[in-house]
Structures are given as C-alpha cells and as structure tokens.
C-alpha cells in the first residue's frame, strides 16, 4: 500500500434477507459496523454516498441521521444493479480530488417480495404486452448461448449447485441450504431454461465501506485493502439486450458491458484475470454467471459451461467464483448488492472468511450488471 492509494479501511454488513426492520435500521447497522471495523467515529467522515434504487429521495441523509447530527454532503446514487459500484466510484473520485480524505459508502435496499416493480424500468406498452418479466430477457440469452455453443441445462444447474453449497457457510446469505443437482433440475421453470433454484430474489439488506487514503490508513493502523480499480460503464449501442430493451441491431454488435468494464478495470489495475484469486459476480440467474466467466476472460467464448462443470470455479478451483453463495443465495437488495460483494472480498483478502476462505487470496474482483446495461467492476488488492 502506498500513501497515494485509495483503500477500504472498514467494511460492515447487515445480513441480506427479509426483515421487519426499516431501511434506516438496516443502513445504520451496516454503517456502524463499517466505522467500528475502521476504528473511526461518524464525526471522522467528511462525505457520504448512498447506493439505492427503490428508496425515496434523500434516503442517505435520513438513514445517516441515525448516527448523529452532521453537515457533510450526503448524496444518493442510482445505477440499477450497479448502484454500489457507481457510489464507490464517487467516493474514489472525491478522495482523489483531495477535496475530502475519508468517505462512507453505504448501500441499502428494502424491496417487496416477488418480481420487481416493472414501472421502474419498462414503458407502459411493454408492460401491457407482457414484456415486463426480467428473467425472460436473461433466459433468451441462455437459449441463444445453448444454441450457439451447446451449453447444457446441467451446466447451468451446476452454477446454482455451487453457489447454494457455498452459501451454507455465509451467515449473511438469505438462503443457506445445499441442493442436489436433481433437486435443482426438478425445480419449476420460471422462464425456459431458467428454474426457480437458479434465480435470485429481490430482498432487504445493507452494506457499508469506509474509504480513505493509504496515508491516513497508515497513520490509523488497522487492516486496509487497496482499491486497484473501480469502473462503471453502461452498455454501448446494441451491445446487450437485457431489460428493458425492445429491440437490438442485427448489423452492429458492440463489446458487451461486462467485457468492456472488466477490460477497463484490468487496464487500470495493470493485471489480468489470471492474477485474480477470487471473484464475486452478478449471478442474477445461473446462466448469467457462465456468460460472465467468458466475458471477464476466465475462459474462451462458449467454454463457460465446461469451466463450471470441471469445478474450476469452486472454492479450491483455479478461479473461485461467488464464495458468498452469490445473489442466488444471498438475494439481491439492489443498492446493497455490489457493496455486499466488496465486504465479502475484504473478508477473503484479510483471511477472515472462515469455511468459505480461498487460500492465500491477495487479489479479488467484484462485478455487477443490470438494467439499462449498467455494469460495475471493482478490483481489490491486499
């Protein structure tokens, strides 16, 4: 760690699940845990960013008021499933500008059960015609991949099997139950070929980070983790047909958002996929994780299915992915999702991940992707 590095000094989380507690309760819990982990007080924080999608205006100020009176800037940030990456990037930029040195990044969400409210992202005509089912868009990608590369339902189920198995050791996950391949493949189809045990659910949760400079971390002591890259992009024209796309070009095919964002993150960190010891990625559905393997360079195009089938993305494999159990097990409280991944990876890099620990993890990547083609990738080093 250099003095000029930007580091995570504290990380805190409220478990993901469904709770009676308010968004204020969840957020304050995670913020206090991150401050305690950093060994800092609320009065040491000079700016704060709240990542959220569903919470109303000025939620950041309303949640953080629970920690005591303040006059620092508190800004709410939204970029769909990549909101946490966008908020963390704001903290990095604010510190790099030398306007502030110590920043709190908080992600909070409290979401109704069931499919997400379609009016958030779809036009009324799409909803009237039945085109408002997010998993339909993911499933159409899976169908095309199976057609082009021979990816199988069993390979897709293998992702869900791995992530459910990992979740058993994660007290912050909503579902902590192992399922057999047979149980996964017998679970009902949601949108063909994706099944109920292969899909993530919206829920409640919060995660928080205290971000500062290497210089300040060295003065304070503690156990800092360096942010080697934090990139946010949106999908280029016709690069992606995730919701709420109503069409795509048949003549122009731009680099997809995950491949583009990962490439920029690798360039910024001056490393490649083989230098990274563990990954947390956007498994909104089990197929999506297979596609991400290919786009972040863990294998060639069409080789994602064989990669997971061979166990290479298990804990103990060459490229451990979603040690936390992934979104399939944790659920996806959208605003808290990316910061939750980062909290998991901070624990991995500090060697505090218990039964789901990746041996000798020094470098880690977190990836999120969602509506509007929003994508964020954070690379951490310890």
Partner 1 sequence: MQAESTAASAVAPINDGMVRSLDPAHGQIELLGSRCATCGEVSLGTNAVCLNCGGDNIESIALGSEGTLWTFTVVRHRPPGNYLGPDPFEPFGVGLVELPSGLRVMTPLDGDISTFRIGDKVRLAPWLLREGEDRRWLAFRFTAAGGSAA
Residues in CB range of 47: below 8 A, 6 or more apart: 72, 73, 74, 75, 91, 94, 99, 100, 103, 104
Integer Cα distance of 153 and 43 in angstroms:
52
Encoded tokens for 261: 């964002």
* Window contacting partner 1 (CB under 8 A); options: 48-56, 234-242, 316-324, 330-338: 234-242
* Window contacting partner 1 (CB under 8 A); options: 137-145, 212-220, 294-302, 332-340: 137-145
Contact 23/108 with Cβ under 8 angstroms? yes
Among 152, 238, 268, 303, binds partner 1 (CB under 8 A): 238
- Spatial CA neighbour of 59 closest among 68, 47, 70, 48: 48
Contact 271/229 with Cβ under 8 angstroms? no
Q: Minimum Å distance from CB 120 to partner 1? A: 10
Q: What are the φ/ψ torsions at residue 68 (nearest 5 degrees)?
A: 125, 165
Among 247, 274, 316, 360, binds partner 1 (CB under 8 A): 247
Among 241, 264, 275, 303, binds partner 1 (CB under 8 A): 241
Check residue 124 for interaction with partner 1 (CB under 8 A).
Answer: yes
> DSSP secondary-structure letter at 188?
P
Check residue 246 for interaction with partner 1 (CB under 8 A).
Answer: yes
Q: Between residue 53 and residue 92, which ones bind partner 1 under the rule CB under 8 A?
A: none
* Window contacting partner 1 (CB under 8 A); options: 99-107, 131-139, 210-218, 324-332: 131-139
Q: Minimum Å distance from CB 107 to partner 1? A: 24
Check residue 113 for interaction with partner 1 (CB under 8 A).
Answer: no
Integer Cα distance of 26 and 345 in angstroms:
21
Q: Minimum Å distance from CB 127 to partner 1? A: 4
Check residue 191 for interaction with partner 1 (CB under 8 A).
Answer: yes
C-beta closer to partner 1: residue 187 or 268? 187
* Window contacting partner 1 (CB under 8 A); options: 244-252, 271-279, 299-307, 370-378: 244-252
Q: What are the φ/ψ torsions at residue 281 (nearest 5 degrees)?
A: -130, 170
- Spatial CA neighbour of 301 closest among 311, 312, 309, 293: 293
Integer Cα distance of 238 and 245 in angstroms:
9
C-beta closer to partner 1: residue 41 or 248? 248
C-beta closer to partner 1: residue 99 or 253? 253
Is the CA virtual torsion 149, 152, 156, 161 positive or negative?
Answer: negative
Q: Minimum Å distance from CB 125 to partner 1? A: 4
Among 61, 72, 75, 127, binds partner 1 (CB under 8 A): 127
Q: What are the φ/ψ torsions at residue 324 (nearest 5 degrees)?
A: -70, -15
Among 3, 182, 192, 267, binds partner 1 (CB under 8 A): 192
Binding string, residues 160-189; x marks residues near partner 1 by CB under 8 A: ----------------------------xx
Q: Minimum Å distance from CB 202 to partner 1? A: 11
Q: Which residue has the tokens 């942010």?
A: 227
Integer Cα distance of 323 and 381 in angstroms:
17
Q: Minimum Å distance from CB 48 to partner 1? A: 33
What angle do the packed helices 134-149 and 286-295 form, to 10 degrees? 60
Check residue 154 for interaction with partner 1 (CB under 8 A).
Answer: no
Q: b/e string for 335-357 if b means 16 or more Cβ within 10 A? A: bbbbbbbbbbbbbbbbeebeebb
Check residue 302 for interaction with partner 1 (CB under 8 A).
Answer: no
Contact 252/164 with Cβ under 8 angstroms? no
Among 56, 171, 221, 250, binds partner 1 (CB under 8 A): 250
Longest dimension (CA), the chain: 59
* Window contacting partner 1 (CB under 8 A); options: 166-174, 238-246, 303-311, 349-357: 238-246
C-beta closer to partner 1: residue 40 or 328? 328
Locate all alpha helices (DSSP H) within 79-152, ordered by sequence: 83-96, 124-128, 134-149
Q: Name the residues that contact partner 1, by CB under 8 A.
A: 114-119, 122-125, 127-133, 136, 139-141, 143-144, 147, 188-193, 237-238, 241, 245-252
């Amino acid at each position: 760690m250099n003095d000029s590095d930007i580091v995570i000094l504290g990380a805190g989380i409220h478990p993901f699940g469904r709770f009676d507690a308010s968004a204020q309760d969840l957020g304050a819990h995670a913020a206090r845990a991150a401050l305690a982990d950093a060994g800092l007080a609320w009065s040491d924080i000079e700016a704060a960013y709240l990542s959220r999608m569903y919470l109303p205006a000025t939620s950041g100020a309303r949640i953080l008021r629970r920690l005591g009176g303040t006059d620092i800037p508190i800004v709410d940030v939204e970029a769909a499933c990549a909101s946490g990456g966008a908020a963390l990037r704001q903290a990095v930029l604010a510190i790099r500008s030398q306007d502030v040195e110590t920043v709190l990044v908080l992600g909070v969400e409290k979401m109704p059960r069931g499919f997400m409210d379609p009016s958030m992202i779809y036009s009324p005509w799409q909803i009237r015609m039945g085109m408002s089912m997010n998993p339909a868009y993911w499933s159409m990608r899976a169908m095309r991949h199976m057609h082009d590369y021979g990816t199988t339902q069993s390979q897709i189920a293998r992702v869900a099997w791995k992530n459910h198995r990992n979740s058993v050791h994660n007290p912050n996950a909503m579902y902590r139950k192992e399922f057999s391949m047979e149980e996964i493949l017998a679970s009902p189809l949601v949108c063909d070929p994706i099944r109920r045990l292969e899909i993530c659910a919206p829920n409640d949760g919060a995660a928080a980070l205290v971000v500062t400079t290497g210089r300040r971390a060295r003065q304070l002591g503690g156990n800092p983790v360096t942010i080697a890259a934090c990139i946010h992009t949106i999908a280029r024209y016709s690069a992606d047909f995730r919701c709420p796309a109503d069409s795509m070009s048949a003549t122009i095919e731009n680099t997809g958002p995950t491949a583009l964002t990962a490439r920029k993150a690798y360039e910024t960190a001056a490393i490649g996929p083989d230098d990274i010891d563990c990954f947390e990625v956007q498994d909104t559905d089990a197929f999506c994780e297979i596609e991400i393997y290919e786009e972040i360079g863990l294998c060639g195009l069409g080789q994602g299915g064989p990669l997971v089938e061979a166990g290479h993305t298990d804990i103990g494999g060459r490229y451990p992915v979603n040690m936390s159990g992934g979104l399939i097990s944790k659920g996806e409280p959208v605003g808290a999702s990316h910061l939750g991944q980062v909290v998991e990876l901070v624990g991995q890099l500090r060697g505090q991940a218990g039964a789901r620990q990746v041996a000798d993890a020094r470098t880690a990547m977190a990836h999120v992707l969602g509506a509007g083609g929003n994508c964020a990738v954070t690379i951490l080093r310890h």
